[in-house]
Amino acid sequence: MSARQVRRFELEREVDVSGVSGTGAVAFGAQAPDGTCVLWWDSEHDSIAIYPTMETLLAIHGHGGTTRVVYIDAADQAPPARSTVTPPDPLGPAGRAGGQVNGRKQAVARS
């Protein structure tokens, strides 16, 4: 995995050992460059969990090999291009402190 790439994945099951999660794609996740995994369960009992490694995640949810990880993103896929966003002018649309236009104070978006 690239040092800067997050990879998406699915957990797929042929057999529902627990009787809770079902079969097919039962959870969706993302693996960070450091190996940390975030997992979102797609079931009646939605939950989100974080695991330090894929090995830890599978040790808990792999059910002895009946669950497989299917990566959506290739390991050698380039990260998406970054877009640039121009922040709003802190002086407001008229270039005046406080964002005043025609003597009226205008809302200024803050992030």
Q: Say which residue, 59 or 22, is predicted with more confidence.
A: 59
d(CA 31, CA 11): 12
Residue 76 reports pLDDT greater than 80? no
In the prediction, which pLDDT does 37 show? 96
HSE-CB at 55 with a 13 A cutoff on CA atoms is: 2
Helix and strand tally (H, E) in the chain?
1, 7
Over range 29-35, report the average pLDDT: 95
